[in-house]
């Protein structure tokens, strides 16, 4: 079960979207120089349908996107919850900030509208750095990944 450590409304993580960004604990990636090491341990509230209904309902008129910040320990849960959000709130897009270098086998990327792949490497910087190793994609309805910029 994914756990929500914290959340915020953000405008910069996903271009042209107002996102409810949920920081997910139990990150397995252990990137050296990690900017959020408090997300390594298990902490926060379980992301059940009840919890998400309560959280998203409070912001559903204001947000255009739900962004999973992490969740690499349980990609199948990211996939399942993203599909559920899209069925419950069709106007809300979904995005996944993953620290993996590649999508996990069998992951149905069509449940997402946006995807960030790549671990954090301190000397290369995050998505806004010109040297970054991380890649941001828009996801086409057929699942094609289109490299994009934030």
User: Distance (Å, rounded) from C-alpha 78 to C-alpha 80?
Assistant: 6
Q: How far apart are CA 109 and CA 122, in angstroms?
A: 27
| 32 vs 130 by CB, closer to ligand SF4 | 32
What is the x/- site pattern for ligand SF4, positions 39-78, by CB under 6 A? x------------------------------x--------
The structure tokens listed for 53 are 């209904």
Tokens of 147: 């490299």
Of the candidate spans 3-11, 33-41, 79-87, 105-113, the one that interacts with ligand SF4 by CB under 6 A turns out to be 33-41
CA atoms within a 13 Å half-sphere pointing along the CA-CB vector of 122: 7
- Examine residue 99 and tell whether it contacts ligand SF4 (CB under 6 A): yes
Binding of ligand SF4 at residue 125 (CB under 6 A)? Answer: no
């Amino acid at each position: 079960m994914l756990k929500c450590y914290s959340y915020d409304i953000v405008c910069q993580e996903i271009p042209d979207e107002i996102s409810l960004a949920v920081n997910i604990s139990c990150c397995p990636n252990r990137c050296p120089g990690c900017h959020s090491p408090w997300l390594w341990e298990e902490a926060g509230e379980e992301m059940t349908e009840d919890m998400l209904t309560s959280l998203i309902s409070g912001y559903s008129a204001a947000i255009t996107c739900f962004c999973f910040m992490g969740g690499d320990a349980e990609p199948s849960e990211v996939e399942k919850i993203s599909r559920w959000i899209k069925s419950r709130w069709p106007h809300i897009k979904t995005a996944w900030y993953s620290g993996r270098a590649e999508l996990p086998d069998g992951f149905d990327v069509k449940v997402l509208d946006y995807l960030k792949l790549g671990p954090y490497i301190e000397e290369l910087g995050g998505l806004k750095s010109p040297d970054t190793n991380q890649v941001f994609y828009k996801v086409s309805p057929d699942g094609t990944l289109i490299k994009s910029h934030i």
